[in-house]
Structure 1
Amino acid sequence: RADKQGVVKISSCSIVHENIARVMQPLLESIRSAGIAHKLFGIDFLTSSSGEVLATLIYHKALDESWSVSAREIESKLGIFIIGRSRKQKIVLTQDYVTETLHIFGRDYRYIHIENSFTQPNALVNEKMISWSMEQLEGVGGDLLELYCGAGNFTIPFATKFDRVLATEISKASISAAKRNMELNGVSNIDFVRLSAEEFTQALDGTREFRRLEGLKVADYHLKTLFVDPPRAGLGEEPCAFAARFDHLLYISCNPETLLRDLELLSQTHEVTAMALFDQFPYTHHLEMGVKLTRKGHL
């Protein structure tokens, strides 16, 4: 039943990962008993399939040493990692990441997932999504360009299908994690570059130079395949015009509405040759979609 503010209070959340559901109530009870609930605004959770749980406690007040002492006790008691955040403050007690392992085509891939950075939320569905994507890239060869690469979720398995991979991402934290993940998996044929999609287009066309590309000759790549996994806003007109340059295009979308808009543009030059749905968020209206497009006349 809703209260006067229209809020419905719940005591459990069965749609989250079982690792998170298991610690939510004990964590709240421990926070209250430790006396560190004052001005606690929210809690963000991050977990891995191996059972690691990272909880970020977000406050509307500055955190002091006494908070750290109490939070460390809760860490030890519950066997989780805790981070404290408030305005212009981040306290990492043990570590700010969990390590995920994905099983794809008989190989294990390990990823460091950093707190407050984008990660795929559903490990089992993520494995299916990567596997399907790799099947679409079978036999394409050459070099791959990836935009919006995040922490290398797709990039690292994709590297087994191509001579070289050039992957771009605007987030510093994600690029740092991607490089760590590349080393973690013993992959060496990827260049991760911190550029936006627009900046990379400028670099490829030679209309602007970037220090971040120093020592890397983009023109030396034989880029005929593009992979994109953009934010909910999708690509839009100019990025779609850029994508149309490639013979092969693989598009993972978290928003079917913006995907439809982009496909109306891309279908002028390309044909859809494969499509799949992935339910990353059970019991919600959200869906991930994968689409493979091939240049007309190139089939």
Structure 2
Amino acid sequence: MNDKKQVSTAKLQQGQTFPLTIKRLGINGEGVGYFKRQVVFVQGALPGEEVVVEATKIMPKFSEAKVKKIRKASPFRVKAPCPIYEQCGGCQLQHLAYDQQLREKRDIVIQSLERHTKLKIENLDIRPTIGMEDPWNYRNKSQFQIGQQKNGKVIAGLYGIDSHRLVPIQNCMVQHPLTNKVSEEVRSILEELNVPIYDERTQKGIVRTIVTRAGFQSGEVQVVLITTQKEVPRKKQIMAEIQSRLPEVKSLVQNINGNKTSLIFGEKTIHLRGEEVIQETLGDLNFELSARAFFQLNPTQTIKLYDEVKKAANLTGKEKIADAYCGVGTIGLWLADGASEVRGMDTIDAAIIDAKKNADKHGIKNATYVTGTAEHWLPKWVEEGWRPDVVVVDPPRTGCDQKLLNAIKKVKPKKFIYVSCNPSTLAKDIDYLSKDYKVEYMQPVDMFPHTAHVECVVELVLK
């Protein structure tokens, strides 16, 4: 009896090798198994697989391990087509067949609800994930760090998994071909002109990052060079070379970030050449994108996502809509033709200026945009006699601000539509609202194929 007890509580040791059955996919795309009731996360392992793993990290509540051998492979395991898939870390699921990725993403939403809510999952309408017909080359923006090798060669790419080793990327399979082409050419120009490249270790050098954004419909490209200072040697030559070799680059911008930080952009942006913005079209709407403007990274799926919001809103032309975290106004403008009035708010002033411009340009007269928080404006509008029928939110990964959720409980719109990019914070926020609001249905949408990310549109109705 004593022996048995000792075995069942035996602690896992670092470097220990042991067999594991993978039960499901974790929120970061890793396989999840259990060793003596403790959770073990295994990068690259898939649900249903029987693997032999080696423990790499032991924590009080979970452990991490790496695959040593696959004894029984998942029937959905495929060979990842990207040659640097395992070094880069930008995608987590290329080794899983795409149809199965969609099923697993729905399961990631369910796991978050199980972990963070008291809702009965079997009573919820959680629909199959909406995927892409062609799940490649979908990203309209790349942000490649730049480094220089000892032989003087300039490389551009992403930092490898859990490391500060720069993995060179010349042709990313999930990026739009134009962003690949332009980033590679700009890298080449910087190398030829011997421009000082920033070294993260010594904190010397000037050019840090190449940010490239392409308009899928317009074919226009914007390049932003992130530098540590305003003065850049041979700046005029860099601009001339980009202009002559890359006619698709319509906007050339410099952003200055001299801080020791993992943030890409600094506060100061300088327009160098061409236009200040590039054009992009979603459905019938045309948007001007400045260097700092937030815009969805997958335009093809964005249309499907916004159509799901429209479906959930189910407008008759009489509704008043509040669009919290409105950004440049995309969701509100998408809904404006079916509503009596749209009011949007955001804390970023530049986004509100863009939102007003976008409304004017499309002749949308029933949309108003203001700077500030939703928790400030919603109660104020109600006091003034304007009560929204529908509130739409599309918050950052951290979820809705607690004050906003309290404002929703107070204002009590008939319908609350939550667009989420993080199932964990979504589940916590739904749980907090569950006394007042019933989950009508949840619609996962795959905005980032081959990664563990999943977006979700949720229709919540006042009880």
The normalised TM-score by structure 2 is: 0.57
Q: What is the alpha-carbon distance in structure 2 between the residues aligned to residue 267 and residue 187 of structure 1? A: 35
Contact 2:183–2:212 (Cα < 8 Å) also in 1: no
- How many positions carry a matched residue from both structures? 279
Displacement of 1:239 in angstroms is: 1.8
Partner of 1:31: 190
Q: CA deviation at 1:181?
A: 0.8
Structure 1 residues 207-233: Cα deviation after superposition (integer angstroms, max 9, x where no partner): xxxxxxxxxxxx243412111111111
**Which of residues 365, 368, 389 is equivalent to 1:191?**
368
Any conservation in 1 of the 2:189–2:238 contact (CA below 8 Å)?
A: no
Alpha-carbon shift at residue 28 of structure 1 (Å): 1.1
Q: Check if 1:258 corresponds to 2:425.
A: yes
Contact 2:322–2:391 (CA<8 Å) still a contact in 1?
yes
Residue aligned with 1:223, SS: coil
Match of 1:228 in 2: 393
Q: How does 1:1-299 map to 2 (within 5 A)?
A: 6-38=165-197, 39-49=206-216, 50-63=218-231, 66-79=234-247, 80=249, 81-87=251-257, 89-92=268-271, 93-103=273-283, 108-139=284-315, 141-201=318-378, 203-204=380-381, 219-244=384-409, 245-296=412-463
Higher relative contact order (CA 8 A, sep 6+): 2
Which runs of 5 or more residues in structure 1 are unaligned?
A: 207-218
Kindly tell me: are residues 176 and 68 of structure 1, through their superposed partners in 2, closer, same or farther at Cα, counting changes over 3 Å? farther
The one-letter code sitting in structure 2 at the alignment partner of 1:101 is T
Letter in 2 for 1:240: L
Q: Structure 1 residues 126, 149: CA separation in 2 closer, same or farther (over 3 Å shift)?
A: same
Question: Rg: which structure is higher?
Answer: 2
Distance 2:370 2:236 in 1: 36
Distance 2:397 2:245 in 1: 38
Query: Distance in 1 between the 2:382 and 2:359 partners?
Result: 28
* Partner amino acid, structure 2, of 1:48: G
Deviation larger for 268-277 or 163-172:
268-277
Task: Tell me the CA shift for residue 95 of structure 1.
Answer: 2.3
Unaligned runs of 5+ in 2: 1-86, 88-159, 198-205, 258-266
Contact 1:111 1:184 in 2 (8 A): no
Contact 2:315 2:339 survives alignment (8 Å): no
Moved more, 9-18 or 273-282: 9-18
> 1:146, CA displacement in angstroms?
1.1
Q: In structure 2, how many angstroms separate the alpha carbons of the residues matched to 1:222 and 1:290?
A: 23
Query: In 1, Cα distance between the equivalents of 2:282 and 2:305?
Result: 11
Counterpart Cα distance in 2 of 1:130 and 1:45: 24
Structure 1 pair 84/72, CA: closer, same or farther in 2 (3 Å)? farther
Distance 2:339 2:455 in 1: 25
Give aligned-pair identity as a percent.
Answer: 24
Amino acid of the structure 2 residue aligned with 1:132: E
Q: Is the 8 A contact 2:444 2:457 kept in 1?
A: yes
> What one-letter code is carried by the residue in structure 1 that aligns with 2:193?
A
Q: Which whole-Å CA distance do the structure 1 matches of 2:330 and 2:239 have between them?
A: 31
Amino acid at match of 1:16: Q
| Aligned amino acid, residue 51 of structure 1 | G
CA–CA distance in 2 between the matches of 1:11 and 1:113? 25
CA distance in 1, matches of 2:388, 2:285: 25
Matches of 2:182 and 2:320, distance apart in 1 = 44
CA 1:99–1:37: 2 relative to 1, 3 Å: farther
Alignment-mate amino acid for residue 86 of structure 1 = I
Q: Aligned partners of 1:205, 1:156: CA distance in 2, in Å?
A: 22
Change (3 A) 1:94 1:170: same
Describe the SS at the equivalent of 1:154: helix
Distance in 2, Cα, partners of 1:221 & 1:204: 5
TM-score (norm 1): 0.86
Determine helix, strand or coil for the equivalent of 1:8. Answer: strand
- 2:188 match: secondary structure: helix
Secondary structure in 1 matching 2:190: helix
What's the C-alpha RMSD, in Å, of the aligned pairs? 2.2
2:280 & 2:373 partners in 1: Cα distance? 26
SS of residue matched to 1:101: strand
Aligned partners of 1:235 and 1:262 also within 8 Å: yes
> In 2, distance between residues paired with 1:99 and 1:65?
30
Tell me the distance in 1 between the aligned counterparts of 2:228 and 2:270: 14
Deviation larger for 257-266 or 10-19: 10-19
Between the aligned partners of 1:202 and 1:266, the Cα distance in structure 2 is 17
Shift of 1:129: 0.7
